[in-house]
C-alpha cells in the first residue's frame, strides 16, 4: 500500500485525525527558535503544526504524502488568512533543494532503511545554526495502546539519531508522555524527543 493511500484512509475518518492543536513538544520550542524565519514541516498530515508556526510568524512550508490531509491544511490556512506552501509527496521523493532555518516533524513513519537518506537531506537543508526538532515513537511504544505503528521497523531509538547528524549539537531523550491528539493519539506513550542544531 502506498503512503498516500494509507494516510488518505486515516485522514478520511475524522475531521482532524490528530486534532487541531500542535504537537506539544514542538510548540514548547517556540522560544528557542523565535529568531528564525523559514520553517519546514515534514510528514505534516492535516496541518496542525504548520498552522501553529504560521500563526507565530514563521514562513511555513509543509510536505505530506496525503492530498486529503494537505487539502484540509490548505482550506484551514485560507480561512485563517495564513500563507503556507504545501507539497504533496512521499518523503523518499523529496529533493531537498531549498534551505530552512528550522525543520520539524512529529511521528514520522519512515522505515529504518529509509532514514539515513532522509536524515542526510534534513541536515543538508538546514542553514548553519538551524534546528531539526521532532518527536517520534520509540520502539518501546509497542507496549502502549495510545497510537503509532505496530511495526518495529517504523519505530525509533535514540541511537537512530546518535548515529546520524554527526556534526551537529544534539539533545536526545526517551520519555513517557501522555498524548491528547485527536482520536489518533490518546494516552500514555513512549517517545523519542530530539533537538538537533547544525553547526
**What's the average model confidence in pLDDT over 188-199?**
98
What is the reported pLDDT for 93?
95
What whole-number percentage of the chain has pLDDT above 70? Answer: 99
Residue 181: which H helix or E strand, with range?
A: strand 168-181
**What's the average model confidence in pLDDT over 53-67?**
98
Number of domains in the chain: 1
On the question of pLDDT at 111 being above 90, the answer is yes
What is the reported pLDDT for 15?
87
On the question of pLDDT at 1 being above 80, the answer is no
Report how far residue 68's alpha carbon sits from residue 61's, in angstroms, rounded to the nearest whole number: 17
Residues 130-175 pLDDT 10s: 999 999 999 999 999 999 999 999 999 999 999 999 989 999 999 9
Range of the structural domain that residue 25 is part of: 3-198
Dihedral sign, Cα of residue 7, residue 142, residue 22, residue 120: negative
What is the reported pLDDT for 17?
94
What is the reported pLDDT for 163?
96
* Total Cβ atoms within 10 A of residue 12: 11
Q: Which of 111, 156, 119 is nearest to 137 (CA)?
A: 156
Residues 18-48 pLDDT 10s: 999 999 999 999 999 999 999 999 999 999 9
> Which CATH number goes with the domain that contains 142?
3.40.50.150
Q: Based on C-alpha coordinates, what's the Rg of the chain?
A: 16
**What's the average model confidence in pLDDT over 121-137?**
98
Cell output for 65: 504524502
**Average pLDDT over all residues of the chain:** 96
Three-state secondary structure of 39-69: EEEECCCCCHHHHHHHHCCCEEEEEECCHHH
**What's the average model confidence in pLDDT over 54-80?**
97
What is the reported pLDDT for 88?
97
What is the reported pLDDT for 2?
87
What is the reported pLDDT for 70?
97
Class of residue 70 by CB neighbours under 10 A (exposed 0-12, middle 13-18, buried 19+):
buried
> How far is the CA of 1 from the CAs of 5, 9, 21, 121, in angstroms?
6, 11, 29, 24
Q: β-strand 168-181 against 84-88: which pairing, if any?
A: unpaired
Q: How wide is the angle at C-alpha 124 spanned by C-alphas 133 and 59, nearest 5°?
A: 55
Amino acid at each position: 500500500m502506498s503512503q498516500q493511500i494509507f494516510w488518505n484512509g486515516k485522514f478520511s475518518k475524522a475531521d482532524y485525525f490528530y486534532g487541531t492543536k500542535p504537537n506539544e513538544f514542538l510548540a514548547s520550542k517556540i522560544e528557542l527558535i523565535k529568531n528564525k524565519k523559514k520553517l519546514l514541516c515534514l510528514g505534516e498530515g492535516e496541518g496542525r503544526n504548520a498552522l501553529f508556526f504560521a500563526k507565530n510568524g514563521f514562513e511555513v512550508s509543509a510536505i505530506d504524502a496525503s492530498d486529503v490531509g494537505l487539502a484540509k491544511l490548505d482550506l484551514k490556512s485560507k480561512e485563517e488568512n495564513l500563507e503556507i506552501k504545501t507539497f504533496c509527496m512521499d518523503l523518499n521523493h523529496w529533493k531537498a533543494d531549498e534551505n530552512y532555518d528550522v525543520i520539524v516533524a512529529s511521528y514520522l513513519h519512515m522505515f529504518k532503511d529509509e532514514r539515513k537518506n532522509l536524515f542526510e537531506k534534513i541536515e543538508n537543508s538546514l542553514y548553519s545554526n538551524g534546528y531539526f526538532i521532532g518527536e517520534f515513537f520509540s520502539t518501546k511504544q509497542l507496549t502502549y495502546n495510545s497510537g503509532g505503528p505496530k511495526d518495529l521497523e517504523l519505530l525509533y531509538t535514540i541511537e537512530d539519531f546518535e548515529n546520524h547528524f554527526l556534526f551537529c549539537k544534539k539533545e536526545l531523550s526517551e520519555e513517557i508522555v501522555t498524548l491528547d491528539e485527536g482520536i489518533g493519539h490518546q494516552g500514555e506513550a513512549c517517545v523519542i524527543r530530539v533537538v538537533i542544531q547544525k553547526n
